[in-house]
Amino acid sequence: MIRPLQRLAGSATRRTVQSSSLRRLYATGAQTLPKSTSPIVSKLDFFNTVTGNGTTIPTYRVLDGAGQPLEGAELPEIDEAFARRLYEHMQLLPTLDNVLYNIQRQGKISFYYGEEATIIGSAAALENDDEVLGQYREMGVLLWRGFGLDKIMGQCFGNKEDTSGKGRQMPVHFGSPSHHFHTISSPLGTQIPQAAGVGYALRRDPNRRSKSIATCYFGEGAASEGDFHAGMMLASTIPSPTLYIARNNGFAISTPSSEQYYGDGIAARGPGYGIDTIRVDGNDVLAVINAVREARRRCLTQGRAVLVEAMSYRVGHHSTSDDSFAYRPRSEVEDRKRIDNPILRFRYFMESQGWWNAEAEDELKARLKADVMKAFKRSENLKRWELGELFTDVYGGEEPWNITEQRQELAGLLKKYGNAWEPWRKELAKFSDGGESLMKRA
């Protein structure tokens, strides 16, 4: 393997070799091995922690459970308007969650995932044109960037207003180039090495170099995929300004994190890849803002990956296909909601600043619910994209013969059975063109 000389030189200065502390050298004159800056020692010493003194990595926090700043904590510079915006977006997520969850229970949309309030803090700490590659609990980033409730609903219903994917993907698989949010896909972890490539592309783009970063979200379960290993390694080895945000909420569906890893969470892995790492209280929005702002700054100045592990607790079920009380006690969830509720904690802080009160709370909740219901009602009655879109966008450029022929085959079937058979007629009526444009081509 050929390694560039400057990299060797760089690592040598970064990790100072304290040869004076070495009592004996393995061989005279040879203080390190080739391709390594590791000092030679004669004492047999295994280790199993990255902190050096056997403790676990600490969790950074600025507000206590009652919304009061911890001693010595530095709050991010935020004014009342910004704080209100943070709070409103944090409240919007559970409101949306509840509505969509109930819709799902009625069978109106097919699938929905919960959400973590961590997202709003990180979204607020990023620039709006930083590229985001998410897993599927990051709808809050899109809302923060002004994606709008209609498009959220449109995607979940798969109707004509689904600009994320023309109704082709399952609900909550959002995407929008103008909001710099890459379309979500179900396979876990695949976005992690992709984010390294996006980061490298930003570094190579003269208009965005040193201005934008790639940000990649994933859960602690996804971090067990091989793609996590690949992504961390790529973004650090091929220097790419990529911020990795691990949402450690304690569960991957039913699997508790104790069955996901035996080490000190995800943060402990960062130093192994040689990347700056921090663990933050994911239920403390101000701590998340501080941590992500600093992480972003490091990404830009060092041009390499940075890792933030945000610790939280998944209070919702994994998805609507999941009943989490089958594997954890209801009381545990209720306790967490009460003791360590990220929204409540920030509300206490707002109230202590004189920025919030019960009246504002009631008004906000009523307004958000009305907004969400309005978007939902509107979306519910919208038709789907044209049926012909089933066959577009498979390829760019010239369409291959098999796609063309299969479109014609469906068109022929529709012409024959579309009106004659009730189940097909009912289904066709859901498309904005009733399948007309497709049948014309038969």
Partner 1 sequence: MPSTSPTASIARTRTLLSSWASSRPSSRTTSVQCLTQRRCNSTSVEPPPAGGHLPGVATSQLLKTTRDAALRIPGLKWVDELDSSVLGGRETRKMNTYQAIRDAMAIALAKDNTAVVFGEDVAFGGVFRCTMGLAEEFGRERVFNTPLTEQGIAGFGIGLAAMGQTAIAEIQFADYIFPAFDQLVNEAAKIRYRSGGTFNCGGLTIRTPTMAVGHGGLYHSQSPEAFFMGASGLKVVIPRSPAQAKGLLLGSIRDPNPVIFMEPKILYRSAVEQVPVDDYELPLGKAEILIPGSDVTLLTWGTPVYHCETALHMLNSPSPQIEPFVPASLRGAKVELIDLRSILPWDMETVVESVKRTGRLVIVHEAGMTAGAGGEIAAEVQKRCFLKLKAPVRRVTGWDSLRWACNMRSSIFRTRSGFWMLWSRRWHTRSYAFQPNRTLNTYL
Q: Give contact residues for partner 1 (rule: CB under 8 A).
A: 1-2, 4, 131, 133, 162-166, 168-169, 173, 175-177, 182-183, 185, 187, 190, 192-202, 204-205, 214, 226-227, 229-231, 233-234, 237-238, 389, 392-398, 400-403
Amino acid at 87: Y
Contact assessment for residue 225 and residue 186, using Cβ atoms and an 8 Å cutoff: no
Q: Which is nearer to partner 1, 192 or 266 (CB)?
A: 192
- Smallest separation, CB 10 to partner 1 (Å): 15
Report helix angle 358-380 to 80-105, nearest 10.
40
Taking the C-alpha atoms of residue 349 and residue 352, their distance in angstroms, rounded to an integer, is 5
- Smallest separation, CB 307 to partner 1 (Å): 16
Q: Which is nearer to partner 1, 133 or 414 (CB)?
A: 133
Amino acid at 206: P
Q: Which is nearer to partner 1, 156 or 202 (CB)?
A: 202
Q: Which helix (H) or strand (E) holds 413?
A: helix 401-417
- Smallest separation, CB 176 to partner 1 (Å): 7
Q: Which is nearer to partner 1, 123 or 232 (CB)?
A: 232
Q: Which is nearer to partner 1, 137 or 166 (CB)?
A: 166
- Smallest separation, CB 110 to partner 1 (Å): 16
CA dihedral 170, 121, 375, 381 (to 10 degrees): 0
- Smallest separation, CB 389 to partner 1 (Å): 8
Q: Tokens at residue 20, please?
A: 């004076």
- Smallest separation, CB 412 to partner 1 (Å): 16
Q: Which is nearer to partner 1, 204 or 430 (CB)?
A: 204
Taking the C-alpha atoms of residue 101 and residue 136, their distance in angstroms, rounded to an integer, is 15
| Residue 30: strand pairing partners | 27
CA dihedral 156, 152, 214, 136 (to 10 degrees): -40
Q: Which is nearer to partner 1, 175 or 282 (CB)?
A: 175
Enumerate residues 6+ apart whose C-beta is below 8 A from 331. none
Taking the C-alpha atoms of residue 87 and residue 19, their distance in angstroms, rounded to an integer, is 53
- Smallest separation, CB 66 to partner 1 (Å): 42
- Smallest separation, CB 438 to partner 1 (Å): 17
**From the centroid of its chain, how far is CA 125?**
14
- Smallest separation, CB 232 to partner 1 (Å): 9
Contact assessment for residue 273 and residue 304, using Cβ atoms and an 8 Å cutoff: no
Alpha helices in 191-324 (DSSP H): 191-204, 226-237, 285-302
Q: Which is nearer to partner 1, 159 or 324 (CB)?
A: 159
**From the centroid of its chain, how far is CA 270?**
18
Q: Which is nearer to partner 1, 236 or 312 (CB)?
A: 236
Per the listing, tokens 């920025």 go with 355
- Smallest separation, CB 266 to partner 1 (Å): 18
Could you give the C-alpha distances from 174 to 252, 268, 337, in angstroms and in order? Answer: 21, 31, 27
Amino acid at 337: K
Amino acid at 290: N
Taking the C-alpha atoms of residue 181 and residue 169, their distance in angstroms, rounded to an integer, is 16
Q: Which is nearer to partner 1, 70 or 233 (CB)?
A: 233
